[in-house]
Chain A
Amino acid sequence: MPWLLLLASSFIILCLLAVYLPLRKQNRLLESRLAQSNRDLQHLQQSCARLAPGNVVDRLITGGPEATAERKEVTALFADLVGYTALSEQLEPSLLARILNGYFQHMSDAITANHGHISTFVGDGILAYFGALEPNPWQCDDAVRAALAMRAGLAAYNQELVAEGLPPLGLGVGLHYGPGLAGMVGSNERMEYAFVGRTVNLAARVESLTRLHKVDILITQAVREKIDPEVELKPMPATEVKGIEEPVITFAVLDWKESPA
């Protein structure tokens, strides 16, 4: 009886479809989740590449944080707001936060536009490196350019603040070039790509000398030896700083005689 055969085969086909269609739907759902997780992983790897060199990320994945450590020559930039404490006592917290965020944005733009990498914001301070994420034979020039761009950026921001009737901000920047240990450091709960060593400490100490010498940008002898001779400098008296045996020779950065390339 052909109609019975037809009915039976239709039934079988319907049964198969009933099994196949949900499976196919589930398969597509799984594929789309896999695709999404692939893209998320790619996105994460790209985000990591902005925070640490690609090979450091690879070494972190394959060998753990200890495998990421390496010795490097880096230029450290330490910047601090001058008069922040007084400002923080005068202004409302929300207004202070807005001013600080605007300041950080201007400073970040100046640093990243000149091949710098911001390591961390410490209170109102900024720690940035040049030559840490990738080899950079022009790192000292870049760091000085960044410091000059920070000066210009702050001048522009101060105009906005003054126009709003707010007090202008002051800036101190210290630069030092030297060796240190770069890698992923921190605790299990919080880890970051950082540069550790005397170079960073000295950059911070040099920054604190800006108040003593009443200038906004100071560089060490090590930076001076590497930068473009066209940068206009003023030597400062050698000064003793905490934790460093010899008095530290610094130079105030006045200007770049020709506009930097």
Chain B
Amino acid sequence: MNPSTAGNPLLDVEWEACLLQKGHDRDIEAFARKRIGMVPPYLPYLVHSPWVARAELIMNFGQGLLIHLGDDEAELAAMAASLDNACRYCYATFRFLMRLQGISETQLRERESRLREAAGSSPRESAMLQFVNRMSRSDPLVGSDDKQQLLDAGFTAAEIRELAFVVAYTLMANRTSTIPALSPEELEQLPDRWYMRLARPLAWKMTKRYLSRGQPLANPPSYEGPYAYLVKAFGDSPIAAALAMVLEEAWADTLLTRRSKALIFAVIARALDCSLSGEEARQLLRAEQFPDSEIDPVLSHLRSASLNATESLLLPFARKTVWYQPSQIQREAGQLSTHISQAEFVEVVGLVSLANALCRLSAAVVDH
């Protein structure tokens, strides 16, 4: 083990072998290059379901989505969420990015001990880290008390909304990397490779070119699809447009039926006890002519004669993605992947990740 890599606190987290094969999609790769200047290492694994791959890029908060929350705070919050979720892949990515910025291994370790104890270098940072952990664990979902603590620590309402989005995006990314067990080893070793040490200043300069701050939208999206209330909650923020685009693409994809998607969202809302997302999912089920009398029995027992074979597999799996140990969910995902195609598997991973993110985000940004 390299002496500096050894500082990574997640190295001992059990991790199964990757469940996905790499794929190619020229359009998505071109989209990635345009947006972040490169094809990120996770992308080839996700292209089997194009909307999932695109969602990761569209919701990346570093690319023009944040207007109020500082980049440093957003990065720290994302790193804290990844640590709390024990996502070796995302955590290695953030560690790599920080090393790229010239942060030394010693500084990084000092930052990591603050993250672990949710004790920031200021009352504002401490409040932020506590909020991140609360939203990540969601036991129960964050509420007005949590937001009040952020307000007391000096956050504005707009900053809180953006912080909640950053955490939600990270929780989604954590799941899209952890569930299919994307291999973190290469990323974990990368900061210490001799060529990376040499190329560090240049690599950071190139990466920085693609990072940008957001601007209020002149025309907020007129999105009326699933979870429109969440899009509306972001008003003229560029986050509203990103959410609308991702939701539209997720629902337009025909690999899994809209009914199956709504069922997955409903199960996760029930696990998290999120009435807002749960009601939205119920309305989506009604729109798909799912019998009203069947909704409660299905959600109460995750099985029913009215479910098809794929749905009977997906619903018990979906609930397991709310709280998990990485190797445990990876083994469960491995079993599921033997029953469905690779494209369907990636779509399921994307859906459960998105549902987990949006339920938590709903509780954090919508007063209900």
- Which residues of A approach B to under 8 Å, CB–CB? 28, 31-32, 34-36, 38-39, 41-43, 45-46, 49-50, 53-55, 58, 61, 134-138, 141, 227-228, 230, 258, 260-261
Measured between C-beta atoms, what is the minimum distance from A204 to chain B in Å?
A: 27
Do A31 and B271 touch (CB < 8 A)? Answer: no
Q: How large is the interface on B (under 10, 10 to 19, 20 to 34, 35 or more residues)?
A: 35 or more
Give the contact stretch, choosing among B6-14, B208-216, B337-345, B350-358: B6-14
Question: How far apart sit A43 and B10, CA to CA, in the bound complex (Å)?
Answer: 8
Question: How far apart sit A61 and B118, CA to CA, in the bound complex (Å)?
Answer: 11
Of B7, B270, B301, which is within 8 A of A228 by CB? B301
A138 with B301: in contact, given A55-B137, A58-B118, A58-B133 (CB under 8 Å)? yes
Tell me whether B116 is interfacial, beta carbon within 8 Å: yes
Do A50 and B325 touch (CB < 8 A)? Answer: yes
Fill in one digit per residue for B233-273: 1 if any A CB lies within 8 Å of its CB, else 0: 00000000000000000000000000000000000001111
Do A261 and B316 touch (CB < 8 A)? Answer: yes
Question: How far apart sit A18 and B319, CA to CA, in the bound complex (Å)?
Answer: 61
Closest to B317 in A: A261
Residues of A within 8 A of B139 (CB): 53-55, 134-135
B contact face: mostly helix, strand, loop, or mixed: helix
Of B6, B86, B112, which is within 8 A of A32 by CB? B6
Residues of B within 8 A of A50 (CB): 325
Residues of B within 8 A of A55 (CB): 133-134, 137, 139
A137 with B106: in contact, given A36-B6, A42-B9 (CB under 8 Å)? no
Do B113 and A38 touch (CB < 8 A)? Answer: yes
Do A258 and B303 touch (CB < 8 A)? Answer: yes
Tell me whether B197 is interfacial, beta carbon within 8 Å: no
Do A31 and B3 touch (CB < 8 A)? Answer: yes
Do A137 and B271 touch (CB < 8 A)? Answer: yes
- Which residues of B approach A to under 8 Å, CB–CB? 3, 6-13, 84, 86, 105-106, 109, 112-113, 116-118, 133-134, 137, 139-140, 270-273, 300-303, 312, 315-316, 319, 322-323, 325
Closest to A37 in B: B113
Given A42-B12, A58-B133, A135-B273: 13 more A-B contacts, CB < 8 Å: A34-B109, A38-B9, A39-B6, A39-B9, A46-B13, A50-B325, A54-B133, A54-B139, A134-B323, A135-B139, A137-B273, A138-B302, A228-B301
Question: How far apart sit A32 and B270, CA to CA, in the bound complex (Å)?
Answer: 45
Question: How far apart sit A45 and B325, CA to CA, in the bound complex (Å)?
Answer: 12
A228 with B303: in contact, given A32-B3, A39-B11, A43-B12 (CB under 8 Å)? yes
Residues of A within 8 A of B109 (CB): 31, 34-35, 38
Closest to A256 in B: B303
Measured between C-beta atoms, what is the minimum distance from B16 to chain A in Å?
A: 16
Closest to B6 in A: A35
Please give me the 9 A-B residue pairs with the lowest Cβ-Cβ distance, nearest first: A42-B9, A35-B7, A228-B301, A261-B303, A134-B323, A35-B6, A261-B316, A38-B9, A54-B137
Question: How far apart sit A244 and B21, CA to CA, in the bound complex (Å)?
Answer: 59
Question: How far apart sit A34 and B116, CA to CA, in the bound complex (Å)?
Answer: 14
Residues of B within 8 A of A35 (CB): 3, 6-7, 109
Residues of A within 8 A of B106 (CB): 31
Residues of B within 8 A of A261 (CB): 302-303, 312, 315-316
Residues of A within 8 A of B322 (CB): 134
Question: How far apart sit A36 and B5, CA to CA, in the bound complex (Å)?
Answer: 11
Of B86, B113, B117, B319, which is within 8 A of A138 by CB? B319
Question: How far apart sit A58 and B112, CA to CA, in the bound complex (Å)?
Answer: 16
| 23 chain-A/chain-B pairs, Cβ below 8 angstroms | A28-B3, A31-B7, A31-B109, A35-B3, A35-B7, A35-B109, A36-B6, A39-B9, A39-B12, A46-B13, A54-B84, A55-B133, A55-B134, A55-B139, A134-B323, A135-B139, A135-B140, A137-B270, A138-B300, A138-B301, A260-B303, A261-B302, A261-B303
Residues of A within 8 A of B312 (CB): 261
Closest to B14 in A: A46
Do A38 and B112 touch (CB < 8 A)? Answer: yes
Measured between C-beta atoms, what is the minimum distance from A109 to chain B in Å?
A: 13
Residues of A within 8 A of B105 (CB): 31
Residues of A within 8 A of B303 (CB): 228, 230, 258, 260-261
Measured between C-beta atoms, what is the minimum distance from B331 to chain A in Å?
A: 11
Of A32, A42, A53, A228, which is within 8 A of B116 by CB? A42
Question: How far apart sit A31 and B3, CA to CA, in the bound complex (Å)?
Answer: 9
Residues of A within 8 A of B140 (CB): 135
Of B8, B9, B84, B316, which is within 8 A of A41 by CB? B9
Residue of B6, B8, B10, B134 ringed by the most chain A CB atoms within 10 A? B6
Closest to A32 in B: B3
Residues of A within 8 A of B319 (CB): 138
Residues of A within 8 A of B10 (CB): 42
